[in-house]
């Protein structure tokens, strides 16, 4: 208001520069505080392992609440959410519930390694655990459990070995069969090769697909050279055209960042509860597992592995083939691991094995011939051993699990040593 227009008794107001700056800055600071509170709440939600759809819905709802509630209420809500989550984490730790979701060490130890670009196990971890059942029991109401004691020891690189890599000539690459899921350390393929046949082999195995196996070898070669790869391909789930593209920088950074949250007890425990609740109806219907009885004994099979075994043909898999070509320079031998349904087909279906299609082996063997790679089918030695042990009530697979047991691994070890011996005989002499 100009001085000439002032009413009698009014004082002229002049904002000082500092006061004017603070007045304008307060709304910006309040908005910034509100945004920070919102982002902090989102990060707290990351600790719960929520499905992506639910997380996005909560993010929208939370944004609407914070917008209407104002800064003070928003900060209060964030603080309360953080406090409840901290209390939840403490309870999980003190009560021991943080490990109760795991019936075996595999998932407990698995983590994404940004420095490798793939998943591995937690380095230097040692776990001794009573495993109450195999991987099929949680997916069926049938009582098939077989408790067992397992030891897990992870080396400094993040794989299941008694010691770090020491220049072993052969490196075993594959999924959970070679990593030893449901089996104790002493029964691993790498251990049986060493203890039974004096073959030094390093276990570079972790659940995944063929493009993942390529990633394991590629990362390992950055540190070590001079080894030969023994690759194991499983009939049940390895014949899938999983994307072989390497993740971009943004994806890798996000995975590495999100690992901060996904490796927490709150994330894993809550995610496990949600998964169990979501799949409860399907599990009740036994859609995942097929349980058959033969000669008075129950055998469980993953239903999708039965479907894979019975497939009449195998379509070309470009990502699978590309991964095999990338591994070829370091491959000594490829081994085909059959499903337990194939091995026990004659007993549970009362039909000759010749009546079962062999599409995946035919595809793999043709691919190996084309690429000049030595390939061995483990079906026949495992079938002979299974038939020999059947009258004694002994199996090559855990009856409650999709993985082989110590005796099944022993058959594979014998086949591996035979092929390696042949490779040595066939190698040209200097």
Signed CA dihedral, 385, 394, 295, 282: sign only: negative
Write down all domains in the chain, each with its CATH number in brackets.
16-95 (no CATH), 105-426 (3.40.50.1110)
Specify the pLDDT at position 246. 57
What is the tens place of the pLDDT at every residue in 380-416?
Answer: 999 999 999 999 999 999 999 999 999 999 999 999 9
Return the axis-axis angle of helices 379-389 and 406-426, rounded to nearest 10°.
140
User: Which of the residues in the chain have pLDDT under 70?
Assistant: 1-25, 96-100, 242-248, 252, 275-286, 427-430
What is the tens place of the pLDDT at every residue in 173-197?
Answer: 999 999 999 999 999 999 999 999 9
Q: What angle do CA 180, 287, 140 make, to 5 degrees?
A: 60
The residues facing 118 across adjacent strands are 113
Locate the DSSP E strands across 226-355: 228-234, 289-294, 297-302, 331-337
Q: CA 96, 97, 102, 104: dihedral to nearest 10 degrees?
A: 20
Specify the pLDDT at position 37. 87
Signed CA dihedral, 291, 411, 132, 270: sign only: negative
Specify the pLDDT at position 2. 47
| Residue 267 contacts residue 47 (beta carbons within 8 Å) | yes
Specify the pLDDT at position 244. 45
CA–CA dist 148, 14 (Å, integer)? 83
Locate the DSSP E strands across 338-417: 375-377
What is the tens place of the pLDDT at every residue in 363-387?
Answer: 999 999 999 999 999 999 999 999 9
């Amino acid at each position: 208001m100009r001085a000439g227009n002032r009413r009698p008794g009014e004082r002229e107001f002049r904002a000082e520069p500092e006061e004017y700056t603070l007045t304008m800055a307060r709304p910006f600071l309040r908005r910034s505080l509100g945004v920070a509170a919102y982002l902090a709440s989102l990060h707290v939600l990351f600790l719960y392992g929520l499905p992506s759809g639910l997380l996005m819905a909560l993010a929208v709802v939370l944004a609407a609440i914070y917008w209407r509630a104002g800064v003070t209420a928003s900060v209060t809500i964030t603080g309360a959410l953080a406090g409840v989550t901290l209390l939840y984490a403490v309870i999980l730790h003190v009560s021991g519930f943080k490990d109760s979701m795991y019936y075996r060490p595999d998932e407990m130890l698995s983590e994404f390694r940004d420095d490798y670009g793939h998943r591995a196990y937690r380095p230097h971890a040692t776990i001794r655990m009573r495993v109450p059942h195999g991987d099929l029991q949680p997916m069926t109401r049938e009582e098939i459990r077989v408790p067992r004691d397992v030891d897990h020891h992870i080396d400094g690189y993040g794989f299941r070995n008694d010691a770090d890599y020491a220049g072993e000539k052969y490196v075993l690459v594959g999924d959970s069969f070679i990593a030893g899921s449901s089996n104790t350390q002493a029964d691993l393929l790498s251990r049986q090769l060493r203890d039974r046949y004096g073959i030094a082999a390093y276990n570079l195995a972790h659940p995944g697909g063929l493009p993942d196996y390529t990633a394991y070898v590629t990362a390992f070669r950055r540190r070590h050279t001079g080894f030969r790869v023994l690759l194991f391909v499983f009939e049940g789930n390895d014949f899938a055209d999983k994307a072989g593209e390497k993740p971009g920088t943004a994806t890798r950074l996000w995975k590495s960042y999100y690992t901060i949250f996904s490796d927490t007890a709150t994330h894993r425990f809550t995610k496990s509860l949600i998964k169990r609740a979501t799949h409860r109806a399907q599990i009740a219907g036994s859609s995942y597992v097929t349980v058959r009885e033969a000669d008075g004994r129950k055998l469980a099979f993953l239903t999708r592995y039965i479907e894979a075994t019975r497939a009449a043909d195998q379509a070309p898999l470009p990502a699978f083939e590309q991964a095999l070509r990338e591994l070829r320079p370091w491959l000594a031998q490829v081994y085909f691991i059959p499903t337990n349904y194939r091995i026990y087909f004659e007993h549970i279906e009362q039909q000759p094995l010749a009546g079962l299609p062999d599409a995946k082996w035919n595809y793999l063997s043709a691919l190996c011939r084309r690429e000049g790679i030595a390939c061995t089918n483990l079906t026949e030695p495992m079938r002979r051993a299974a038939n020999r042990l059947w009258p004694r009530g002994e199996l090559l697979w855990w009856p409650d699990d999709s993985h082989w047991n110590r005796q099944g691994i022993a058959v594979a070890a014998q086949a591996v040593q035979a092929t390696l011996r042949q490779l040595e005989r066939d190698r040209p002499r200097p």
